[in-house]
Amino acid sequence: LNEATIAEHFKPQGNTADISHVTTGNINKTFLVTLNGAEAKHFILQRINTDVFTQPELVMRNIRVFSDHVRARLTKNPLPENRHWEVPRVLHTPNGQDFWVAPDGSFWRAISFVEDAQSFNTAQSESHAQEVGWALGTFHALLDDLPIERLADTLPGFHIAPGYLAKYDATLFGPNSQALATRGEALFSGVDFCLKFVEERRSLVSVLEDAKAAKKLKLRPIHGDPKINNVMMDTRTDRAVSIIDLDTVTPGLVHYDIGDCLRSGCNLAGEETTDLSSVRFEPALGRAILSGYLSQAKSFLTPNDYDYLFDAIRLIAFELGLRFFADHLAGNVYFTADHDRHNLDRALVQFTLAKSIESQEAEIRSLIAEMR
Ligand code: GN1
Ligand code: MG
């Protein structure tokens, strides 16, 4: 069973000319299929990681609910004429299924490729950052009339920071913690820094969940993973045309999305660097992303929403660091890791970024205040 044979199950027309492995994702396995003689030149073939997404059929259903809603809405209320927006399409198998389960149990699906567009792991300019923010604002605005009951929670606990802390504690102090000690974690430089970093921030993790429980923040349809490289940019106009990677479209707080967009868009060193001295939160990029976002989001954000923006930006960077670090301690069971300390290195980047956000709290808060 190889990707080429699997691709045949989704191929609309034409012949497969090439299949290349796309290595940027941390969870699913992704391939770019190039076709000869077809109307669409490419499509995306993915093997869903069913250890993470244990109900992949529900993921596909959410994508359908999401895209039907957005397409209908765009037909009724098109974006301004100078703006183009694409919703990735799920490709069907000949018998009309939107996924294919291989004899070995692996779960495959195919999605249309946004042609003549590209994404970047880091912000290329302030105007790129502003477009990324515009894209997220547009994404949220297009969903602001979709009742959350229509979307399933396909990844329970996703972005619930106190839950990640509890899991981390279970790894550190639970029944298997002995095994951890014998793996010699202390040998890895940076572990002590991370342990201390988390200890000092225990009281921060519940800030958004507390606000949600107090009914200050409400659930809305969100993307769940709007990092900068999920925003597709038109290669000719340099404008944002789509947000891809729709697996985590679920009910959530827009704050998770805003935090994720800023933590990924304002760090010019990217997520994968090992040069921690280059990791910094750039407020000018934060301003650009927020101004793009708010140009579309002003109509639905409440005063409480604004009050928690800074907390969200700090928390989501910290949360991702905690998720990477906990996975490092647990033996790399969640995020794909290329080497032993990969998730530790990723954690160090996010913690360094969180620290940079904290050290610029006054400035970031004042730019939010200025824009609201
Ligand atoms: C994971 O696989 P990918 O790269 O789309 C993760 C996100 C993280 C991201 C960090 C379902 O996304 O939450 O922010 O890595 N997705 C899931 O790069 O856990
Ligand atoms: Mg993703």
Q: Is the pLDDT of residue 39 over 90?
A: no
Q: Over pLDDT 70: what percentage of the chain?
A: 97
Please give the average per-residue pLDDT across 281-305, as a whole number: 98
Evaluate if residue 316 carries a pLDDT over 60: yes
Phi-psi label, residue 327: left if phi above 0, alpha if psi -120 to 50, beta otherwise: alpha
Specify the pLDDT at position 175.
Answer: 78
Give the residue ranges of DSSP H helices in 107-245.
126-143, 161-173, 177-182, 191-199, 207-213
- Indicate whether residue 98 lines ligand 1 (CB < 6 A): no
Candidate of 225, 246, 258, 345 to mutate for ligand 1, largest count of ligand atoms within 8 Å of Cβ: 225
163 and 157 Cβ atoms separated by less than 8 Å? yes
- Poorest-pLDDT segment among 34-38, 74-78, 101-105, 109-113: 34-38
Q: Residue for token digits 């477009």?
A: 131
C-beta of 327 in contact with ligand 1 (< 6 A): no
Place of tokens 């502003």: 130
Q: Is the pLDDT of residue 318 over 90?
A: yes
Query: How does residue 186 score in pLDDT terms, banded at 50, 70 and 90?
Result: low
Structure tokens, 24 = 């940027």
Does ligand 1 have an atom closer than 6 angstroms to the CB of 242? no
The residue contributing the CA closest to ligand 1 atom 15 is 26
Under the banding of pLDDT at 50, 70 and 90, the label for residue 181 is low
Average pLDDT of the segment spanning 202-219: 98
253 lines ligand 1 (CB under 6 A): no
Q: Which atom of ligand 1 is nearest to the CA of 53?
A: 11
For residue 27, report the distance from its CA to the centre of ligand 1, in Å.
Answer: 7
Predicted confidence at residue 174, as pLDDT, reads: 82
Query: Does 282 sit in the ligand 1 pocket, CB within 6 Å?
Result: no
Ligand 2 centroid – CA 289 distance (Å): 20
Distance in Å, CA 225 to ligand 1 centroid? 6
Q: Confirm if 137 and 293 have CB atoms less than 8 A apart.
A: yes
How many angstroms separate the CA atoms of 95 and 109, rounded?
14
Q: How far is the CA of 104 from the centre of ligand 1 (A)?
A: 25
pLDDT of residue 185: 53
With a 6 Å cutoff on the Cβ, whether 26 touches ligand 1 is: yes
- pLDDT at position 222 is 98
Enumerate the β-bridge partners of residue 111. 44, 90
Other Cβ atoms less than 10 A from the Cβ of 309: the count is 25
Cβ atoms within 10 Å of 153's Cβ, excluding its own: 15
Mean pLDDT of the chain: 95
146 CA distance to ligand 1 middle (Å): 24
| Beta strand ranges found along the chain (DSSP E) | 15-22, 29-36, 42-48, 90-91, 100-101, 107-112, 117-118, 220-222, 231-234, 240-243, 250-252
Among 161, 214, 208, smallest CA distance to 311 is for 208
Using the predicted structure, report yes or no on whether residue 170 has a pLDDT greater than 90.
yes
Kindly list the distances between the CA atom of residue 41 and the CA atoms of 3, 18, 67, 113, 120, in Å, as whole numbers in the listed order.
17, 11, 21, 8, 21
Contact, 368 vs 309, CB < 8 A? yes
